[in-house]
């Protein structure tokens, strides 16, 4: 009996590889298993090889294994490119129409399946995905009724005919007696609890988090790997009175949400590196004019168009230092799907409280990797709109509202258009308390100090989560790397402590300082060339003798093996 | 009834004496008074340049943003709170160089915002550089041998892209300008008001005198029909766009009317919380 199983599905892009994988994940998640999926795709609509790797486990995991138990090939490329990933006793199954030339490897099980033939025979050549799922279900000893209820759920909206045809394919696969199934079947351990869980990717959780946080406006320009956020909100916001606006470019995106946020609506945009580059001037305006906006950066490989469908975490410098001039901004760095949900809600609170841009830093792997999740708690993060003024006790004199009033914490009351007595001017120019342009040095200094001190109190908030607590070395990371790091640490018998940093700006200095005192060595794990987070930490803390940087920048996430090696362990 | 003074704050504009922009500011204030717009419900967004300072001279909610982006800011404001009257204003560089794309998309998107272009065909605040609306052979510090690029024609561009309200005003024709702005604000949907607003310091070609001699006043054209698309196009071509008055208007549904019910609340008034039942239903989609 196996605790987990890893399946790679490969085929021609645009021909159902992803839907096959997603259906399998949802089916297993409905039985109580945890799943994690990883997509490998290229920048084209149809054609070219694409793969979807699924890890099915009785325990929660946020990484795929480095090797696979089953390789399901819907095209020849998959066999050529990925056969080497198979475990020694792995199984390669493929559409028998492919007629591949597979080298004989001892112990490797090779199983041609009449996927195309069967579907064509039933007059449903486009339903190969269902046949593939059915064969995998049978190999994993899944009862047929589990799959048939899954098919009903999946295709119910498409009509009875479609459901019936898919069920026919399923039955045909289960009735196929051409193979000695008993020999080949893999037995998975039963799940710990037989409950139905959901499958989400980071972008889903961010979008749902935004909706739950009261975000009612998103302006966005489509880009990989962030588009799902605008798509989800575009579909659901109208049901809650809100709006999604697809704009002409990312400059319009950031400035439109600045307008909406200035007017009092929780507003966001979602983009990737190229969009961030275009947005920087607008982000600076939000910093200067103290407007609460939330920007999701689902990072991908840069610079320029880079590897648009590949993973990287290389926007830190741009976001941490970027935009001309100096202004306060907050960067949150969720590491798990749950983080994506809760940290998005926190992002909206922080934006409102500190009246500054808040960046939610995701990455391609976190944004696009689906996984089984436990229930999310709608009420865990409460709503805090900070010093928002929606009505005045009595009408002030028209020009008297000090939008940029100098206060002890630097944060001023914020009236929105429509509020009587709240009239004020907002400008990207340096301004006085009333928001009117002013360029004298005394005012400049007090206004700079006011803005820059707003986020100082965040240094008291705990932002680093450490797991295991018994070793002298800490591996610290952010974003999707955390899932791999966790899997590696556990596989190595917890030879090192590992952790994640939830907020990168302002850097949790006090907390980091304490960890640099308590650990002999801290290794920062990140997907970029420069070791951007480790350099940021080095520039702010005296930790050169204890900090090590471990980076990867080839477009792929770390493998578990790579991290275990860095931990000093054998694989 | 409100008066023009209600929309005037105590800030002295930093424009040069004789600048056409004074007249545009005044016309906007008078128009707001005529429409009796509560000043807390009036928002003026501007871009960067001499014209950008206009939002700071209004007693209203003013938003002076970044260069070329007054329109996306204005559209965000209007979508957030449809009860507000939103005016965007900017110069010819703002609307037709750095922000041209926003101008075109604002036209086709048709959100109910009035866009006033303070067009002086030169970059004044940078101390005299050529603009995409400068005429050919125009000499500036950045076109020392005379501009060789063809000027953009805002009216034709807007008309070709389906604008529902296009008007042109002239700083020296104050009454007509007031009337245009009143009607532009009343128009349900995007309205473009291109104002010839002479720069007395850096544009020695397109002067008050020059405009006075060239401009054709459509209000004085017998039988000019503002609903006639072909006539509007012909007029722009025949006058080389040097005409004032409402050039074209067409009633149609604005963006918000198309995506929301009339009774829908402004986004600013929405309940931000989801109920547990709603959340469960949304979460169920992922199973």
Mean pLDDT, chain B, rounded, equals: 97
Mutate which of A253, A259, A381 to disrupt the B interface (most B C-beta within 10 Å)?
Answer: A259
- Given an 8 Å threshold on Cβ–Cβ distance, is A418 in contact with B272? no
The beta-strand segments (E) located in A97-251 are 109-113, 198-200, 217-220, 243-246
A103 pLDDT exceeds 80? Answer: no
Q: Which residue of A has its CA nearest to B268?
A: A265
Contact A258 B73 (CB under 8 A): yes
pLDDT tens digits, one per residue of B260-271: 999 999 999 999
According to the model, what pLDDT value does residue A182 have? Answer: 66
Q: Under CATH, to which class is A462-566 assigned?
A: alpha beta
DSSP sequence for B15-33: SPTT-THHHHHHHHHHHHH
Identify all chain B residues contacting A198, using CB atoms and an 8 Å cutoff.
283-284, 286-287
- B83 in Cβ contact with B41 (< 8 Å): yes
**Is the predicted ipTM greater than 0.95, yes or no?**
yes
Q: Which residues of B touch A196 (CB under 8 A)?
A: 287
* Contact: A208, B72; criterion CB under 8 Å: no
- Tens digits of per-residue pLDDT, B107-165? 999 999 999 999 999 999 999 999 999 999 999 999 999 999 999 999 999 999 999 99
Within 10 angstroms of residue A166's Cβ, the number of other Cβ atoms is: 26
Provide, as residue numbers in chain A, all residues whose Cβ is less than 8 Å from the Cβ of B284: 198
* CA–CA separation, A414 and A183 (whole Å): 70
Nearest C-alpha in B relative to A235: B282
Sequential DSSP letters for chain B? ---GGGGB-SPPP-SPTT-THHHHHHHHHHHHHHTT--GGGEEEEE-SSGGGGGGGGBSSEEEE-STT-HHHHHHHHHHH-TTSEEEEEEEHHIIIIITHHHHHHHHHHT-S-EEEEEE-SEETTTTSEE-TTSPTT--BTTBTT---SPPP-HHHHHHHTT-SEEEEEETT-HHHHHHHHHHHHHSSS-EEEEEE---TTT-SSS-HHHHHHH-EEGGGSTT--TT-HHHHHHHHHHTTT-EEEEEEE-----HHHHHS-TTPPPGGGS--PPPHHHHHHHHHTT-
* Residue pointed to by tokens 């900017």: B90
**Of residues A242, A255, A419, nearest to B73 (C-beta):** A255
Please say if the pLDDT value at position A51 is more than 70.
yes
pLDDT above 90: residue B60 = yes
Q: Domains in chain B, ordered, with CATH?
A: 4-261 (3.40.50.970)
Alpha-carbon distance of A55 to A66, in angstroms, equals 10
Closest CA relative to residue A468, chosen from A502, A492, A495 = A495
CA-to-CA distance for B75 and A246, rounded, in angstroms?
12
Least reliable range by pLDDT among A13-27, A277-291, B38-52, B58-72: A13-27
Per-residue pLDDT tens digits for B228-249 = 999 999 999 999 999 999 999 9
Please state which architecture CATH assigns to domain A200-373. Answer: 3-Layer(aba) Sandwich (3.40)
Lowest mean pLDDT among A185-194, A318-327, B206-215: A185-194
The alpha-carbon gap from A257 to the nearest alpha carbon of chain B, in Å, equals 6
Total CB pairs under 8 A between chain A and B: 194
Interface contact A260-B79, CB threshold 8 A: yes
pLDDT for A184? 73
Q: Which residue from B39, B72, B283 is facing A256, i.e. has the nearest CB?
A: B72
- Range B59-73 average pLDDT: 97
Q: Is the pLDDT of residue A37 over 90?
A: yes
Give per-residue pLDDT as tens, A232-268.
999 999 999 999 999 999 999 999 999 999 999 999 9
CATH class of segment(s) A4-194 = alpha beta
A495/A178: higher pLDDT: A495
**Residue of A265, A421, A426 lying closest to B63 (CB–CB):** A426
Domain definitions of chain A by residue range = 4-194, 200-373, 387-460, 462-566
Residue A288's pLDDT band (boundaries 50, 70, 90)?
A: very high
Report the chain B residue with the minimal C-alpha distance to residue A395.
B40
Rounded-to-integer distance, Cα B114 and Cα B134, Å = 24
Virtual torsion, Cα A190, A195, A200, A205, nearest 10 deg: -140
Higher pLDDT, B106 or A180: B106
**What rounded mean pLDDT belongs to chain A?**
94
Report CA-CA distances (Å) from A502 to A331, A463, B125. 9, 5, 44
Contact B270 A240 (CB under 8 A): yes
User: How many residues are there in chain A?
Assistant: 571
Query: Looking at the predicted structure, is the pLDDT value of residue A400 above 80?
Result: no
Verify whether the Cβ–Cβ distance A242 to B270 is below 8 Å.
yes
Return the residue in B72, B89, B256 with the most chain A beta carbons within 10 A, the one to mutate for interface testing.
B72
The bridge status of strand A371-373 relative to strand A198-200 is: antiparallel
Q: Do domains A200-373 and A462-566 have the same CATH topology?
A: yes
């Amino acid at each position: 009996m196996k605790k987990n199983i890893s399946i790679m599905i490969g085929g021609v892009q645009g021909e159902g590889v992803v839907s096959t994988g997603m259906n399998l994940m949802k089916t297993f998640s409905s039985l109580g298993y945890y799943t994690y999926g990883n997509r490998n795709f290229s920048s084209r609509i149809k054609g070219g090889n694409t793969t979807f790797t699924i890890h099915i486990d009785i325990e929660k995991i946020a990484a795929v294994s480095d090797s696979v138990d089953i390789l399901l090939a819907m095209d020849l490329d998959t066999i050529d490119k990925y056969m080497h990933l198979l475990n020694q006793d792995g199984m390669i199954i493929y559409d028998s129409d492919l007629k591949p030339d597979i080298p004989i490897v001892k112990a490797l099980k090779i199983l041609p399946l009449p996927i195309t033939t069967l579907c064509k025979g039933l007059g449903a050549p486009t339903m190969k995905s269902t046949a593939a799922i059915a064969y995998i279900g049978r190999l994993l000893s899944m009862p047929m009724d589990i799959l048939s209820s899954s098919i009903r759920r999946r295709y119910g909206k498409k009509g009875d005919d479609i459901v019936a045809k898919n069920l026919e394919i399923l039955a045909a696969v289960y009735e196929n007696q051409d193979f000695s199934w008993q020999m080949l079947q893999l037995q998975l351990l039963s799940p710990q609890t037989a409950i139905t869980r959901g499958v989400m990717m980071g972008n889903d959780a961010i979008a749902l988090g935004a909706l739950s946080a009261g975000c009612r406006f998103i302006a966005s320009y489509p880009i990989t790997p962030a588009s799902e956020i605008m798509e989800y909100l575009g579909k659901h916001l109208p049901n809650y009175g809100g709006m999604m606006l697809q704009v002409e470019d990312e400059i319009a995106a950031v400035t439109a949400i600045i307008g909406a946020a200035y007017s009092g609506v929780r507003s966001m945009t979602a983009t990737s590196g190229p969009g961030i580059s275009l947005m920087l001037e607008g982000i600076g305006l939000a910093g200067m004019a103290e407007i609460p906006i939330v920007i999701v950066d689902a990072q991908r490989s840069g610079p320029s168009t880079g590897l648009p469908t590949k993973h990287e975490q290389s926007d830190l410098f741009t976001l941490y230092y970027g935009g001309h001039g100096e202004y306060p901004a907050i960067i949150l760095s969720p590491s798990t799907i749950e983080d994506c949900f809760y940290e998005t809600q926190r992002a909206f609170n922080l934006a409102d409280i500190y009246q500054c841009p808040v960046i939610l830093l995701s990455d391609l792997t976190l944004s696009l990797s689906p996984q089984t999740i436990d229930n999310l708690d709608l009420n865990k993060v409460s709503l805090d709109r900070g010093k928002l003024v929606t009505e005045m006790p009595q009408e002030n004199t028209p020009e008297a509202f000090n939008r940029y009033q100098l206060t002890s914490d630097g944060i001023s009351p914020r009236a929105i258009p429509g509020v009587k007595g709240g009239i004020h001017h907002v400008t990207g120019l340096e301004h006085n308390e009333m928001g009117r342009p002013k360029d004298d040095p005394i005012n400049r200094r007090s206004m700079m100090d006011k803005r820059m001190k707003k986020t100082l109190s965040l240094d008291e908030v705990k932002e680093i989560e450490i797991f295991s607590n018994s070793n002298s070395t800490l591996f610290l990371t952010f974003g999707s790397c955390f899932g791999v790091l966790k899997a590696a640490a556990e596989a190595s018998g917890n030879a090192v402590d590992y952790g994640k940093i939830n907020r990168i700006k302002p850097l949790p200095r006090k907390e980091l300082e304490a960890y640099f005192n308590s650990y002999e060595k801290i290794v920062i794990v990140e997907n970029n060339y420069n070791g951007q987070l480790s350099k940021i930490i080095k520039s702010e803390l005296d930790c050169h003798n204890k900090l090590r940087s471990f980076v990867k920048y080839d477009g792929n996430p770390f493998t578990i093996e790579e991290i275990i090696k860095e931990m000093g362990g054998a694989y | 009834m409100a008066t023009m003074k209600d929309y005037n704050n105590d800030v002295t504009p930093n424009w040069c004496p004789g600048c056409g922009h004074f007249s545009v500011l005044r016309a906007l204030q008078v128009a707001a008074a005529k429409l009796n717009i509560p000043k807390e419900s009036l928002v003026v967004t501007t871009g960067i340049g001499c014209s950008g300072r206009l939002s700071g001279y209004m007693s209203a909610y003013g938003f002076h943003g970044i260069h070329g982006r007054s329109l996306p800011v204005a559209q965000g404001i209007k979508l957030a709170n449809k009860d507000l009257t939103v005016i965007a204003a900017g110069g010819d560089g703002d609307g037709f160089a750095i922000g041209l794309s926003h101008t075109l998309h604002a036209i086709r998107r048709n959100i109910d915002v009035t866009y006033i272009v303070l067009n002086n065909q030169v970059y004044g605040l940078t101390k005299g550089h050529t603009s995409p609306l400068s005429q050919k052979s125009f000499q500036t510090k950045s076109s020392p041998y005379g501009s060789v690029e063809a000027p953009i024609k805002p009216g034709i561009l807007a008309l070709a892209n389906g604008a529902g309200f296009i008007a042109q005003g002239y700083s020296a024709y104050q009454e007509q300008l007031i009337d245009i702005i009143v009607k532009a604000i009343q128009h349900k949907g995007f309205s473009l008001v291109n104002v010839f607003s002479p720069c007395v310091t850096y544009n020695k070609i397109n002067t008050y005198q020059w405009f006075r001699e060239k401009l054709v006043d459509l209000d004085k054209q017998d039988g000019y029909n503002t609903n006639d698309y072909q006539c509007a196009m012909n007029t722009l071509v025949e006058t080389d766009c040097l005409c004032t008055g409402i050039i074209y208007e067409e009633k149609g549904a604005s963006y918000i009317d198309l995506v929301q019910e009339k009774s829908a609340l402004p986004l600013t008034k929405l309940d931000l919380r989801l109920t547990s039942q709603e959340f469960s239903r949304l979460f169920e989609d992922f199973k």
